[in-house]
Amino acid sequence: MRIFKTKAFNKFALKNGIPDSELINAITRAEQGLIDADLGGNIIKQRIARKGQGRSGGFRSFIFYCIQNNSYFVAGISKNDRENISSQELAALKALAREYTRLTAKQIEAQIENGLFIEILPEAEDE
């Protein structure tokens, strides 16, 4: 499975010191059936550890999961700021996830070239 983060999620991850290894870990847990919340429409919510606090006090990531064997980290929130997203935000994510199901390999590569998607590679686990 290829793993991507959107430009917006990358900004969130950098601001909060979330390494790519934690994102890989979140997808690995999902692949093992350890999904924190299935929100429907190919969207899952996975907790990500905050350094020194563990996952329960950390961050919530919203992932478009298993869309054409790809997963996309698209949004994140800090549990200290908010517990969850609103129903309107979830509806917007579901609409966006539907758009992602239509992406061709060529369109995905164009998004990478334009800096809108950043691929997380397995060797990123050291970062």
How much is the pLDDT for 126? 47
Six-digit token string for 11:
């900004």
Overall pTM surpassing 0.85 (yes/no): yes
Domain ranges, residue 113: 2-126
Determine contact, residues 47/58, Cβ cutoff 8 Å. yes
Count how many domains the chain has. 1
DSSP 36: S
pLDDT in tens, 69-81: 999 999 999 987 8
Which parts of the chain have pLDDT scores under 70?
A: 124-127
> What's the sign of the alpha-carbon dihedral 12, 85, 80, 54?
negative
Determine contact, residues 59/87, Cβ cutoff 8 Å. no
